[in-house]
Homo-oligomer: A and B are copies of this chain.
C-alpha cells in the first residue's frame, strides 16, 4: 500500500534521539566531537541532509555546537539538555502512514449503530466519482492553494447551489449565497446574526438534538412547538407563541423534519412565510433533507414563498452527495451581508478546491438520477426495517412511515424509558437514539429514533431484532401480566403511521 508520508522527519528525529541518548548517559561527554556528518550518514543508511537536520536540531536545543570546518561538539552542561531532547522526541507522536487513524476510536464505536444520522453506507455514494472530481479540481484550480478564496465561497459553487434551488422552487442569486462548513455551521451563523445571548428561539418538538446543543452553546433559550408527525409544526401554536412570547427567531425543518420526518403541506408553508413576514421575525429554514424527496413539488421550501427576505435558508449536500466533503450553504435573505461578514470575521473558512469539486458533482447530469436511486434504496430499506420492528418489538409499539430519509421514529408502549434501553443495547455493542435527546422535556422518553444510514446486512438486521427483544424484556419487567403469548400474537398487530399523531399537544 502506498505510504502517506515520507520517512524523513522520523529519521532525523531518530538520529537526533540516538545522539542525545549517548550524551544524556554520559557516553559522549562535554567537548567531545560527534561522528562526522558523512560517517553518520553512512552508518545510518540515510542522506547527509538528514544527518545535518538531526545535528541542527541538537544545536537548536543547546546540546551541541558546530565549529567551523571541524564538525559538531558536545556543549558544556549538555547532559540535562540532552535528557530533555530525549524526553521530547520519545514523547512525540508517530504520524500514521497510510493506515486508518481511528484505531483509538474503534473501541468506542459500537458494532452496530442505529444512532448516527449521517449516511455512511458505501452503497449510497460513489466515492470514486467524488475522488475524480476532487483530483480534477485540484489540478485545474491549483492556483487557489496560494490564495484565500472569496470569503463567501467560489462563485462556481454558489451558482451551482442557486441552480439546485430551482428544484426547491426558489429563484436565488449565487451572489447572495454564502458557502459554509456544513449546514449546522450555517444555522449557527444565522442564529448569531439575528439573536443575542438570552434570546428566545422557537423550535419543533421533537427536534434535532444538534440544534439543542447549538442553542445551549450560544446561550439561547428554546420554546418547543407541538409538531404533527405528518404536517409538521402547528401553525396555530406558532401564532400563539408569537403573540405571547418575545421570540427572536424560528429554527425549523419544514420538509422531512428530524426526527419525525414530517412534511408541511404547501398551504402551511405559504402560511408560515406570511406569518414570519407579518411578525417580522426571521425563519431559519433547514433544507438539508429536501432533495431526498422524489418531486420538486414536495421538495418546495418555505423560501419559495418568501418575497421580503425573512427566511434564512440553510442546506448542505451531506445527505445526498458526501457527508465527508463538509460544505454547506446559506441564503440569508435580508441578513445576507451579515452572514458574509460573520463567516469572514470568525474565520470559518472553506476550501476552494473542494468547492469546485462539489459544484462539478452537483451540475453533473447524473445527480438527479443518483437521488432517485438513493431514494428507492432507502424506501426499500426502511420498509424492511419496519417489518423487523413489527416482528420483534413489544405490543403496542408504533412507528412512522416516512416518505424518504434515513430514519424511523418509534414509540414504545407504556412507561418504558429508552435511556434504559439505550444502556442495555450499548452493553451489547448496539447504539440507538433515545427520544429524550430530541427534546428539553421528558415528553419523548418512551421514543426512539432509529437510523438506517449505516451498513444494512444480516448483522444489522439481527441487531435490530435484538433491540426489539431488549425492549420486550423492559416492557415485561414493567408489566408481568402481559404474557409472552399475548406479545407474540400482538407482533402482527402493527400500527400504521396514521396512528402516530399523539404529539400535537401544547
Contacts and interface: CB of A to CB of B under 8 A. Distances in A.
Contact of A324 (B130, B149, B210, B359): B149
For chain A, which range describes its interface: under 10, 10 to 19, 20 to 34, or 35 or more residues? Answer: 35 or more
A148 B118 CA distance: 7
Most buried by B among A96, A121, A137, A365: A365
Nearest to A154: B101
A440 interface: no
Nearest to A353: B134
Contacts of A4: 136-137, 140, 156, 356, 359-360
A185 B125 contact: no
A491 B365 CA distance: 64
Given A128-B142, A155-B96, A9 B101 contact: no
SS of A interface (majority): helix
Contacts of A57: 296
Contacts of A498: none
Nearest to A354: B351
B134 A146 contact: no
Interface stretch (A28-36, A87-95, A221-229, A257-265): A87-95
A467 interface: no
A185 B353 CA distance: 19
Nearest to A342: B217
Given A118-B148, A148-B118, A352 B365 contact: no
A182 interface: yes
A96 to B, nearest CB: 5
A349 B182 contact: yes
Contacts of A175: 104
Interface stretch (A166-174, A234-242, A411-419, A476-484): A166-174
Please give the count of copies of this chain that the complex contains. Answer: 2
A347 B182 contact: yes
A30 to B, nearest CB: 20
A76 interface: no
Contact of A95 (B159, B349, B369): B159
Contacts of A105: 150
A217 B341 CA distance: 9
A493 interface: no
Interface in A151-200: 154-156, 158-160, 162-163, 166-167, 171, 173-175, 181-188, 196-197
A102 B325 contact: no
A125 B146 contact: yes
9 contacts: A13-B163, A95-B363, A125-B145, A130-B138, A182-B347, A214-B345, A324-B352, A326-B349, A326-B351
Given A95-B159, A325-B351, 17 more contacts: A4-B360, A5-B359, A5-B363, A8-B364, A60-B295, A127-B142, A131-B145, A134-B135, A135-B135, A181-B181, A181-B348, A183-B347, A184-B349, A196-B197, A216-B345, A351-B354, A354-B354
Interface of A: 1-2, 4-6, 8-13, 49-50, 53, 57, 60-61, 87-89, 91-96, 98, 101-102, 104-105, 118-122, 124-125, 127-128, 130-131, 134-140, 142-150, 154-156, 158-160, 162-163, 166-167, 171, 173-175, 181-188, 196-197, 210, 213-214, 216-217, 219, 295-297, 322-326, 328, 341-342, 345-354, 356, 359-360, 363-369
